[in-house]
Chains A and B, each alone.
Chain A
């Protein structure tokens, strides 16, 4: 997994965000085994206690679960994952809209821009 942890904000919050992103983008797919705490902590260059705290938070959000036999796994609850994906999309959309507003674009102009861009992208992919 790719990690980008900085000192400016609480580390466990950054871990939660990046783990959630890994789940919605399929780096940690539904039902997958989550690597051991120490391995993840070593990868991210963070304290195992902090990593543990982040993983526990994801469990309490229903995104992971610990089973006695299988260890820690990503939830197989597709509705829950879809909700998380939507939530993430809304965060990105919010950020995007803020930037467009800062550039002085009206909502209609933003919509037109998005239509044109997605059509262009569609043509390129054909």
Chain B
């Protein structure tokens, strides 16, 4: 099967420091991939370059055969790790903004998710807790019918009950020709949902493996494996 998301020899320097160092991997359609690594391992940099928000120093990202640009932005739904919408917006403004901006946005679906997570249309972003803001951004991102979802720490500030809902929402909402990449250090919460894992360490790709194969080989859960590999 052809790869929907291809990263080749991707390198990014911030000054003299390499945030990403010669990272190469590919993701096929239909996959749910965990991008795992400790703080500062390059997860956000990788996702931002892929979303077209940062320029790589060298190497290449291809999404559906194209380099990041207006086409890939139209088919990629990116969830940033911090609030990217104006804080004076209300929920309804954010929904209208996504509807105007992305032709693949399904307003009814987004509203249904918002209602499930008990977000009111008139709530103002600036008055929300961090977790509620994250829920809003996730509903907006998953409300798109994208080919590739890049989710940067979608669960970090969210309470455990909502985490489960969000995970199920992700599992049930992407279609067979879309792929999802989730960066997180809350491995336990995504453990059973992942197909594949990408392990990043100091900007380098340590491993790209099928989740069940990794469990079989190591005899450990992904969470235990991660703790062992990244022991401080």
Q: List the interface of chain A (C-beta within 8 A of B).
A: 5-13, 38, 41-42, 44-50
Contact = CB atoms under 8 A, between A and B. Distances in A.
Nearest to B215: A10
Contact of A6 (B31, B171, B172, B221): B221
A8 B194 contact: no
B189 to A, nearest CB: 10
B221 A10 contact: no
B195 A45 contact: no
A42 B191 CA distance: 14
Interface of B: 30-32, 164, 167-168, 171-172, 188, 191-195, 211-213, 215-216, 220-224
A62 to B, nearest CB: 23
A45 B221 contact: no
Contacts, number: 57
Contact of A10 (B194, B216, B223): B216
Contacts of A9: 215
27 contacts: A6-B221, A7-B188, A7-B191, A7-B221, A7-B222, A8-B215, A8-B224, A9-B215, A10-B212, A10-B213, A11-B192, A11-B211, A11-B212, A12-B212, A38-B172, A42-B172, A44-B192, A45-B164, A45-B168, A45-B192, A46-B192, A47-B192, A47-B194, A47-B195, A49-B31, A49-B195, A50-B195
Nearest to A51: B171
B171 A47 contact: yes
Contact of B171 (A5, A11, A12, A42): A42
Contacts of A7: 188, 191-192, 215, 221-224
Best-buried of A8, A10, A45, A47 by chain B (most CB within 10 Å): A47
B142 to A, nearest CB: 13
Nearest to A53: B212
Contacts of A5: 192
A49 B171 contact: no
Contacts of B168: 42, 45
A49 B30 contact: yes
A12 B213 CA distance: 10
Contacts of B171: 38, 41-42, 45-48
A45 B222 contact: no
Contacts of B172: 38, 41-42
Nearest to A7: B221
Nearest to A5: B192
Contacts of B194: 47
Contacts of B223: 7
A76 to B, nearest CB: 29
Contacts of A8: 215, 220-221, 224
Contacts of A48: 30, 171
Contacts of B193: 45-47
A6 B220 CA distance: 11
Contacts of B221: 6-8
Contacts of B167: 45
Contacts of B224: 7-8
A8 to B, nearest CB: 5
Contacts of B188: 7
